[in-house]
Amino acid sequence: MFVRRIAVIGTGYVGLTTGACLASLGHDVVCADVDADKLERLRRGEVDILEPGLADLVAEGIAAGRLSFVLGASAAIRALAEGPEVMFLCVPTPMGVGGVADLSIVESVIEEVRDLLPADCVVVNKSTVPVGTAERTQELLVRSDVAVVSNPEFLREGSAVYDFLNPDRIVVGASQQDAAERVAALYAKLGAPTVLTDAPSAELVKYAANCFLAMKLSYVNAVAELCDRLGANISDVTEGMGYDKRIGQAFLQPGPGWGGSCLPKDTSAMLQLADAADFEFRLIRATIDTNTRQRQRMVEKVRLAVTGKRNGSLSHRRLALFGLTFKAGTDDLRDSPALAVAALLRQAGADLVGYDPALRPDSGHPALSSITVTDDPYHAVKDAEAVVVLTEWPEFRALDWARLAEAVRKPIVVDTRNLLDPAVARRAGFEWIGVGMP
Ligand code: UDX
C-alpha cells in the first residue's frame, strides 16, 4: 500500500474519524480546524465527542507520528512536506435558508488553499453536499492540475470508527478516473466493495441512501400506528417482514420519529434538490410529514395515558423523560426526536424532568432550557405522573423498575422505543404502553 500525505480540513465527527482512521491505516495525516482550544485538547489526545474507539486511535496516531493537528486549512497544507497528495473537506454544510445546504464554509476553505495546493493534489468532498458541488468546487479552485472528487461518508454517530474501518461500500465519484482511483486506493486495506462513478452520482448516493433510511423508518412508524389501531404487534410484523432478504431486519425499529444530524438535513436537501430539478418528490415529502406526525402521536399517547382522555390537559403534569439524545450511544442533541417530543409536551403545559446517561445536569445546553435535567433516574421520576422513554439507551432496561414504581406518582411508562420488556415493567407495578404493541 502507498502511504499518502493527507490533509483533513475540519475535526468534527466526520473529519476527526476520517483523520484518525486514515492514520491508523498507515497514512500521514494533518488535521486542521479553526477552534484553537479544541486543537490543543486533541494534541493531548482528548476527544470531546462520545465516539467509541476514537480517542484511542487519536492517541495512537499522535504517538506513531502519523497524526497531527494544526490551526487553519493553509497550515495543514504547509505542515506536510511537499504538500498533501489528498485533501479531505470535512467541514459543516448546515441546513441553510429553505433547507438548502449552506456551502459557505466549503467555499472559504477553497479560497484559503487555492494557491497553496501542490500540482496533482486531489480535493475530496466528504461533507454531504448538493449534487453539482464537486463541479462547483472545481470551478472555484481555478486549478486544472487539481482534481475534485466526491467520496461521501456513511458513518453513524456512536459507531463511526467501526463504520469507517468496516464499510459496507466505498463510493468515489470524479470526472477524472485516475483521481477517483487514487482516492479509492486509500481504503484498499479495508477490502470493501467500491463504486467508481461520476461526481454527481456519488453525491446523489448519499442523499438517496439517507432518504431511503428515513423512508424506511417513517414507513415502520406508520405501520406501527396501524398496529395500534388494529391490535397487531409491530415487533412481530417487522420480524416477519425483515426475514425477506430484500427488506432486511435492520432499521425497522419504531420510535418517536427519526432525527440526528443527517436524516432531517438530508431529506430537506433532497426535496430542494428535486424542486430545483422541477420534480415534485412526494415520497420524501410524505416521509418528513409522517415523521412530524409521529412526534405528535407520542404526545397523544402520553396525554391519554396520564389523563385517561384524548383531550385531557397536561398542564402542570410532571413527566419524567428518559433519554434526550437523538439516539442511544451518543451525546448529540441535534434534531433529537426526544427533544421534539419534549417541546410538544412543554407546549401542552407539562413540567419536564429529564434523565440521560450521556448528559450532565449542568451541561447548560440551550436545547435543554425547558427541562430540569438530573443525573439520577430515581430522582427524575419523583412525583412524576408518567415516565416517557424517548431514547433507546440499554441502561434503562437495567434500572430497578420496582424502585422507580415506588418513587413515581403514577406508575405509567410510555415507552416510545419499545425498549423495555413489558413483562418486567408490569411485574414492577408499571402500566406499560408501547408503540404498535397490543
Ligand atoms: C445516519 C446514517 O445511518 C449514516 O449512514 C449517515 O452517514 C449519517 O446519518 P446517524 O444520524 O448517526 O446516521 O443515525 P442513525 O443510527 O441512522 O439513526 C437516525 C435516527 O433514526 C435516530 O433518531 C434513531 O433513533 C432513529 N432510528 C434508527 C429508529 O428510530 N429506528 C431504527 O430502527 C433505527
Q: Are 180 and 173 in contact (CB under 8 A)?
A: yes
Ordered by where they begin, the domains of the chain are 5-197 (3.40.50.720), 199-438 (3.40.50.720)
* Residue 323 near residue 380 (C-beta atoms within 8 A): no
- Is 90 noted as a catalytic residue in this protein? no
Q: How do residues 43-72 score in pLDDT, each as one tens digit?
A: 999 999 889 999 999 999 999 999 999 999
- Burial track 192-209 (b if 16+ CB lie within 10 A, e otherwise): bebebbbbbebbbbbbeb
In the numeric block, which cell numbers belong to residue 19?
Answer: 483523520
Closest alpha carbon to 392 in 333, 325, 318:
325
pLDDT(99) > 70: no
Provide residues with CB under 6 Å of ligand 1.
153-157, 210, 213, 217, 251-253, 255, 258-263, 326-327, 337
Number of the ligand 1 atom closest to the C-alpha atom of 417: 30
Among candidate residues 121, 181, 176, 124, the one with its CA nearest the CA of residue 150: 124
Please give the residue that has the higher pLDDT: either 365 or 193: 193
* pLDDT tens, position by position, 176-233: 999 999 999 999 999 999 999 999 999 999 999 999 999 999 999 999 999 999 999 9
DSSP 95: B
pLDDT of 94: 81
Q: State the closest ligand 1 atom to the C-alpha of 252, by its place in the atom list counted from 1.
A: 33
Residue nearest to atom 26 of ligand 1 (CA): 258
**18, 164, 213, 418: residue to mutate for ligand 1 pocket, most atoms within 8 A of CB:** 213
Q: Is residue 37's pLDDT more than 90?
A: yes
Distance 78 CA to ligand 1 centre (A): 37
Using an 8 Å Cβ cutoff, are 348 and 299 in contact? yes
Distance between CA atoms of residues 428 and 406, nearest Å = 9
- The whole model's pTM is what? 0.94
Q: Is the dihedral of CA 8, 12, 18, 22 positive or negative?
A: positive
| Residue burial 339-376, b: 16+ Cβ < 10 Å; e: rest | bbbbbbbbebebbbbbbbbbbeeeeeeeebeebbbbee
